Structure 1
């Protein structure tokens, strides 16, 4: 509960006071830190778990691998993969899919492919993980090949997560026609109901290629038009293609749905600046100060030897973790 309420600082003492800790307790701690953006603590928790002589089950391993995926540490991924083999978890389909995701996010797509091809009984989770892996690496054509192979040469039917993965791969690679075709296949052939995430990706896909009018049509036909990230994708596209009129429409909805997100105000401010509407820029900047909003800085993480270094634009890189 505390982890899902974004209060991880309240968890440590509570966890330490537990008279008995089982694998469920440790798994909750593992996933909780990752959920709150401090996945590196999950690695330390796993070490403490082993020191406490609590053996992880498949569920705990999946949560740990997911946490490690957030960090993108290849050295740690190799160690955890070895542990999975040693503990005979490699035949668990969920652990296998998590390893595929882990290697993909660590930049080692070749290892992900080897794992995928080595799984004999591939289920929808495994197929979806491999498609998503290719998408992360911008290999949309390869993702389409895996999706086609799944649909035509296996007995596994794609689900909403599979379509989310393949649509995302199309978006990252700019495959507009293919993405629209797959979206229609999801609707008409598999009778699956798209969620806000699916609509968001389609809007992003059309927006990246400048098809703003078509993207707006998609937004207007959505059953639920209250998803901030869909409007956010549309606003980002308006920023790329400097469309002030549609940008204002998107921003108006976003300010109503999520009034305390600084990024939306800054995006609209940048659109106004590109259109030389400096008075509007000043008004937005003043509003940001009055509301005391702060934009979260983008962060890059690089693995150098045994150190993990974090980089933020304009700041000196800092070492925040040692493997």
Structure 2
């Protein structure tokens, strides 16, 4: 039945009242339920303005799932704008179930014959990226091609992010190569993708190509490039990036400054990191961690501890990473008593959290290095969690350093049990048996390696565990 002028005016008044109510600053969940009932009763579910406000308010009250139910279960075929609004709000949620709803909304659209547009895909792909839903992501990619959105740069950048987030760097590169146009986001996502999968040199090659193409990097680009420099020791490139940041006139904010400090620390130039530290107007716990970690890597234990105490005096609360860094610094510098004291504070939950496996690994390393091998073993047996490779590796390194063959054998077997495909542990054990004159046992280890398809050059007398490797990973 067509609306009369009176009924239209009445409906318009109801719409206005609902919108006014939704725009109030104080609104309760029970009132949202009443509004929802009014929307259904007055057939206002197709009103896109009301829907947008209703969904936004529902999200602010933690009731986004109710809005999702309204527009998928009770109202089968909502307007595309409403679908996109729901997908967008769900994709920005930190709750995985709600993020999943944005994907479910997209599926619902297909079932109901609601055609997506270029505003639909970026947020669906964001949820897929966040949830690492690669298989579904590839299906959506085919839809993007089918509906002709392959030339939309926002959709393409979202596809790049999907593949980069899922570690599929080959697909990411392929999408990038096929893009008709690229912006700073496109290049940055590709750099990030290579960095995240550990291909740091490739990340820097892409960064160089980006500069050669005439696309100016932004702060996010620089942070990702600096991270790649830090992880592959590309100091020269890091310095060039720093120079470029200076020329750009950018303020040294927390994220950029911390990235520079981290790069200089991991490249063995923490003194340059201090210049950046002093230049920064604002610092957070990550900034302080970068400084202490840099000092730990430089084996400047006393300085690391000194800056740890300065950090506390500045009322910056240390976190788990801070304590790993300072304990590693004590271990590397032979500061056994200082390390024991700091670990005791951690055990007493002075910092608001108990020690984790990384903190135990640092302490085992510290005790083993300082000849307290029995104490180190006791700490391992009393740990409230299962020891990791870093823990047993620290004990093995200390035992090898101080010539304790019996404990070395014990630790080596533990490492083989944890990482049966790592040939280095077999090599150490075989060499150890050779040193002990247990040639039959050494031959058995060689046979075990052959049986498991492992190979290593036993002719090299320099084959040893990189005792720092696992522990250095704690600082990265």
How does the TM-score come out when normalised to structure 1?
Answer: 0.81
Residue 259 of structure 1 pairs with residue 426 of structure 2: no
Q: Does the Cα contact within 8 Å between 1:272 and 1:280 map onto a contact in 2?
A: yes
Q: Equivalences for 1:1-323 in 2 at 5 Å? A: 8-9=169-170, 11-18=172-179, 21=182, 23-51=184-212, 54-152=215-313, 154-188=314-348, 189-294=350-455
Distance apart, 1:164 and its partner CA: 1.2
Gapped runs of 5+ residues in structure 2? 1-131, 133-162, 458-476
Aligned length: 297
Task: Name the CA shift for 1:45/1:209 in 2 (closer, same or farther; >3 Å).
Answer: same
Contact 1:138 1:173 in 2 (8 A): yes
SS at match of 2:238: helix
RMSD: 2.7
Larger Rg: 2
CA distance 1:234–1:20, shift in 2 (3 Å): farther
CA distance in 2 between partners of 1:6 and 1:140 (Å):
36
For residues 272 and 24 of structure 1, what CA distance do their matches in structure 2 show? 55
Larger proportion of strand: 1
- Cα distance in 2 for partners of 1:201, 1:66 equals 24
**CA 1:61 to 1:253, structure 2 compared with 1: closer, same or farther past 3 Å?**
same
**Matches of 2:169 and 2:430, distance apart in 1:** 34
Return the offset for 1:21.
Answer: 4.7
Contact 2:229–2:235 under 8 Å retained in 1: no
Pick the structure with more helix per residue. Answer: 2
CA 95–232 in structure 1, closer or farther in 2 if over 3 Å, else same:
same
CA-CA distance at 1:33 after TM superposition: 2.6
- 2:252, 2:281 within 8 Å by CA — same for their partners in 1? no
Q: Give the TM-score normalised by structure 2.
A: 0.57
> Secondary structure in 2 aligned to 1:138?
coil
Q: Give the drift of 1:128.
A: 0.9
Q: Quick one: distance in 2 between partners of 1:156 and 1:147?
A: 10
SS class of match (1:245): helix
Whole-angstrom distance in 1 between the partners of 2:167 and 2:453: 21
